[in-house]
Structure 1
Amino acid sequence: MTLATDPPPLAWYGGSFAYYDEEPEPPTDAERDAAAEQARARRTAGFTPEQFGDEPGGAERAGLVLGRFLPVHDGHRYLIEFARAWAGRVFVFVRVQQDDPIPWEVRRDWLRELFPDVSVHAVEDGPRIDEGRWAERILAEVHPDYVFSGEGWGYVLARRLGARYVCVDREHVPVTGTQVRADPWAYERYLPPPVRAWYTRRVCLIGAESTGKTTLARRLAEHYGTTWAPERLRSYSVCADDPADVADAAFGQRAAEDLLARRASRVLLCDTDVLSMRLWCERLFGAAPQWLVDAAERPAADLHLLMAPDLPFAGADELNRPGERREFHAACERELKRLGRPFVTIEGSFDERFERAVAAVDELLGR
């Protein structure tokens, strides 16, 4: 209701306001239906089913997916899987810049592992997407039928390529590369196994026998809610008399670590590593296979926990060799220093070892 003292309502007409006395009446249902019917008549006039075109997709069609993939995450996987549902041939082009935090070769290998049937290529680009450069590079490889993207530039690029733009809504996979780079483990559920391994920090427990490595590795894994790689040599019934057993265990140790890193959360605890296995070979046989020597020279852990031989020996008394244990500890320390590997010496009781190890791992993880 408008009172006599109220100013009359205003309406905007192009360049000025105008007054009107009453609120306009909304259209009736009948008027709405009539307008809809008129619009339908205009839309269907002269329409034939052929205007729908052929069924989208097909094995002979080529689809295109583009992105930085820094890193590959489940949003990217959904995008590529969507493209594969449409097109028999899918081409992924990775935008590569000089300052990318993850090398092109790493991203390429991730994509090839996750999608063996997809063709992966690189496009070197500047700070902003250059549709002209992209189009030129892409057309040198493929003339796509579809461009799949959830971003506006995908439509522009599709027009340059003479392709149909297919918008892919990733709302239900709410993750971006920027978010993952800022805090990977906040988006852990969206990390594919090889990407999870990339972000997993590795902590190796190294030292002589009966220094609590296995006990501590298991306890740390429980504390951090992650997994750990046991010492494979323990699974061999014969090891001290057969060099092949030690070599097999060393090779399997490396393989197990790489596989378990894909299942870890933030950190993988490793009960020994290839460096320790090399030193163990040398202790038992005076030499180690060259491949193991070479492998031990390459960094494999972000942090080593060097276990001091100050705990009582827990095995059979005839196997207790205090001098050899001390010599092995010294050899581990010497090699860690020579190789420039970060390490922390862990000593004392089991609880003291645990507290010292947690402090060191927390520092590594930035806690």
Structure 2
Amino acid sequence: MDLALVIAVVVIALAFDYTNGFHDAANAIATSVSTRALTPKIALLLAAVLNLAGALVSEGVASTIGSGIITPPETEHGMVIVLSGLLGAITWNLITWWLGLPSSSSHALIGGLIGAGIAGAVTVHWSVIIGKVLVPMVISPLIGFGLAYGVMVGISWLFRRASPHRVQRGFRTGQSFSAAALAFGHGLQDAQKTMGVIVLALTTAGLHSGHDVPLWVKLAAAGAISLGTYSGGWRIMRTLGRRVIKLDPVRGFAADSTASGVLYVMALGLQAPVSTTHTISSAIMGVGATRRLSAVRWGVAGNIVSAWVLTSPATAIIAGLVYLVASLWLG
């Protein structure tokens, strides 16, 4: 196995992790920044630190990505498949970041691995993909929307006789904690996926056995996503924090708290790699719908949903084409 190829795959995996960080930074801080609960710099620093912490807590999602999506052969051919999947995901991340669309880096990565795996004629574990990717992909936004709606209704009832000014001020403080919880959940989910890909690459290269994640891989992936988070994702932040619904501190707290709870259950309970983007976006729509349905800008929401639907097929096609070009170039 060419060591340079292995190093290239690890470096590109960390580059994907970095793009994941700045692409998805908006997920953790859009609500707290748009309601002025936190300044952008403090929010980004908080998100970066909590992303780092969340990335080091569990290996469940990393195991699903590292062994449950595809099984490439332990050859250079297998390394090219992994590399192609990563390049497809990075390409889609950059396209949607440029357009300001909060698409899922998670499903970009999974779609890329599937597309490269199909093009490379290797085993694709469809039962795992359906059970741990497709089903959670559908239900997590629905749960996020429904729970956020219910939480917001409950908060409105509990504080119905309180001074609106005091309530908003209190929840503005609370948003510091809810944003931190969501950032922790993002690290728990998204950095794990890069860890899984690096373990997949090392296993394919014959340099690692088993599904455990080496400490250096954890630290590298956690560091890369934290650096990416701190660099920010202002285009997407505007879409989530302002264009879908005009948020106030109460609704921001309800959306963040609900989304982080869904992420924890999916990562720690089910080891399912769900999308932070899908979860927080649907939660924002849920809290917005409690005001009135017309308060949600459904045209913007429709664009977001379209990006969700297109992400996995688009990255699969891109990754498949990258693999075909790379295999022709390598002979």
Assess same fold via TM > 0.5: no
Q: TM-score, length-normalised on structure 2?
A: 0.22
Q: Select the structure with the greater relative contact order (CA < 8 A; seq sep ≥ 6).
A: 2
More helix by share: 2
TM score, norm. by length of structure 1 = 0.20
